[in-house]
Amino acid sequence: MEISEQVSTWHLFLFLSKWGSLATAAILVVLTVWFAVGAGFVAGAISGVVVFAAGFFALRSKPAH
């Protein structure tokens, strides 16, 4: 395996790890607010969207210089 293939695989792994973690966190927030707190689906969905939006802006790729 050449180094360019390893770099490509590593970037794919990082991409899937960070966005998969964000999706998991947002789903956990929705389910926790919906069922454990008992606030209802709408409150859970709103909190999940807020968590996802904050994570999206934190995790998006920065432009290369």
pLDDT tens digits along 2-46: 999 999 999 999 999 999 999 999 999 999 999 999 899 999 999
Its pTM stands at: 0.84
- Give a yes or no: residue 11 inside a domain: yes
Among 44, 3, 43, 53, CA closest to 23: 53
DSSP conformational letter for 39: -
Count of domains for the chain? 1
- Give a yes or no: residue 64 inside a domain: no
- Give a yes or no: residue 65 inside a domain: no
- Give a yes or no: residue 21 inside a domain: yes
- The parent domain of residue 12 ranges over 3-59
